Homo-oligomer: A and B are copies of this chain.
């Protein structure tokens, strides 16, 4: 038996351990909460559950203006459209989910890729200014893994150039900052409530707008631009969240503090076990930020660790531990963006390295700590 086979035999879990698992209320609680929906037979178009969830999502994050959406991508699509940018460039980063860049495409905007910081994988303000041209219309930074962008740094530059800032906030549901609500920053922030997220409505998302006028424009755009029975004001789209999804959201919001607490406990255990281990680097923790445990990224330096990220990914899978190369590939690698001047690897050294080295380990609120220990044992046993 080879060393790898022996290791797999020793560490293999009896059942697959997935990288995440959605929190769910009891089916009985969901049934009960759906009863008024069934009685009223109002299934979509700003129903009671939708309206209540919208307010509670805003209140939970200490902001005023949330708009629910059928998913985070359509939320981003409309968030961008609400700024009234007809053409030009938007500076973003390639270390993100394809939706960030794709929604620019659908808005007839060209992405310009700015490199990221090596410690937290967010847009590097020191490299931002060189990405700005006369064609730049907005900046679209991405909060990554539950960590926050350098919002002060980015917004100072945006202000100097008179550019709006849209945050891709899909990863930061529930993240707290002593300096104030992260979602109150910029012109627009976009949340995702996909099944893989800290808080889920199965599919869903939201736009947080900086003021009431912008929220009105967003709400208009998410319902075809229909301003009343006889008025259509803008070429909107259908971005509405149904009552089935909003009702799940109401119950998951009731339980989200417990989910966040569970995730933070898992995060702490991973940190205890992996901090300072040769070849591994964990996500930087910023002072004053309460994390949400959305992801557990670990960076694997192949030379120091003695094994590449890809080898670790494969062997862990063989042991029934399903990790995720997230984000790989970079958006700048996709065929239809790779010819952009900003997509050249030499323009994005940190993003290129992160895409090669980062692996996301399993994390969710109900993940038991002994299982976390087994994942850590396996990872450390894999070190060459």
Q: Which residues of chain A have a CB within 8 Å of any CB of chain B?
A: 21-22, 24, 27-28, 30-31, 34-35, 38, 41-45, 70-74, 77, 97-99, 101-103, 105-106, 108, 194-195, 200, 202-203, 224-226, 229-238, 240-245, 248, 325, 328-329, 331, 334-336
CA of A99 to CA of B226, assembled, Å: 10
Query: Contacts A24-B38, A27-B35, A235-B336 given; 12 further ones with Cβ under 8 A?
Result: A31-B34, A43-B195, A43-B203, A70-B71, A71-B238, A98-B232, A99-B238, A203-B241, A203-B242, A232-B334, A233-B335, A242-B244
With a cutoff of 8 Å between Cβ atoms, the chain B residues found around residue A194 in the complex are 44
Point out the residues of chain B lying under 8 angstroms from A225, CB to CB: 98, 102, 334
* Given A31-B27, A31-B31, A71-B70, A237:B77 Cβ within 8 A: yes
Which of the residues B98, B224, B240, B331 comes within 8 Å of A102, measured between beta carbons? B224
Say how far A342's CB is from chain B's closest CB, in angstroms.
Answer: 16
Number of identical protomers: 2
Q: How far is the CA of A234 from the CA of B248 in the complex (A)?
A: 32
Chain B residues near A243: list those with CB within 8 A: 202
Smallest CB-CB separation from A102: which chain B residue?
Answer: B235
Chain B, residue nearest A336 (CB): B235
Indicate which residue in B22, B98, B203, B244 contacts A240 across the interface (CB closer than 8 Å). Answer: B203
**Is the beta-carbon distance between A73 and B248 smaller than 8 angstroms?**
no
Most buried by B among A229, A325, A328: A229
CB-defined A-B contacts under 8 Å, sample of 27: A27-B34, A27-B35, A30-B34, A31-B31, A43-B200, A44-B194, A44-B195, A44-B202, A45-B195, A70-B70, A70-B203, A71-B238, A71-B240, A97-B224, A98-B236, A99-B238, A101-B235, A102-B237, A106-B106, A108-B108, A202-B244, A203-B241, A230-B325, A231-B329, A232-B331, A233-B334, A242-B245
- How far, in whole Å, are A103 and B236 apart by their CA atoms in the complex? 9
Q: How far is the CB of A244 from chain B (nearest CB, A)?
A: 4
- Distance in angstroms from A253 CB to nearest chain B CB is 16
* Known pairs A44-B202, A73-B238, A325-B229; A224 contacts B34 (CB<8 A): no
Is the pair B235, A106 in contact by a Cβ cutoff of 8 Å? yes
> A31 contacts which chain B residues (CB < 8 A)?
27-28, 30-31, 34
Query: Bound state CA distance, A229 and B234, in angstroms?
Result: 37
Write out the residue numbers on chain B whose beta carbons fall within 8 Å of the beta carbon of A72. Answer: 238
